[in-house]
Structure 1
Amino acid sequence: MGIESIIEPSSLSMLARVLESHCGKHGILLQEARDSVAVSVIEFYQCGYHREEDLLNMLEEQDRPQSSRHGSIQVKAIPFQE
């Protein structure tokens, strides 16, 4: 059973646009990385994010470092000098 039997063709086209838009914006060229983004897009879609804008926002949120998402303190490594 392929993805086409789970997701309507019109929705599949929208998901492909989201993938292309996000990968283009971030310069994601490697197929392995694009596949990873595609999995995220489908997971977000299955969780109820059905609008293009919402999916793009979720991908952006996923790309942000954990600390900026939750207001945590960022720790900066300072080289030790002897």
Structure 2
Amino acid sequence: MAGGKAGKDSGKTKTKAISRSQRAGLQVLELAGNASKDLKVKRITPRHLQLAIRGDEELDSLIKATIRLCSTR
């Protein structure tokens, strides 16, 4: 397409709806990334995920409640 627009939506920004679980996952990854950055490493390990969850009061209580609920079954 010579001289035409690059695409139908060129120049427009799209926002996509994010579910609560996606938002929570992104928050955990952000916190784990911060933990790994503080330790000056380039990869997020399960230890960084644990540090991120235990360091955040709200996430910690949510995980503990979920584990407690699963263990009573």
TM-score, normalised on structure 2? 0.39
Q: Point out the structure with max Rg over C-alpha.
A: 2
TM-score, normalised on structure 1? 0.36
Q: Counting helix residues as a fraction of each chain, which structure ranks higher?
A: 1
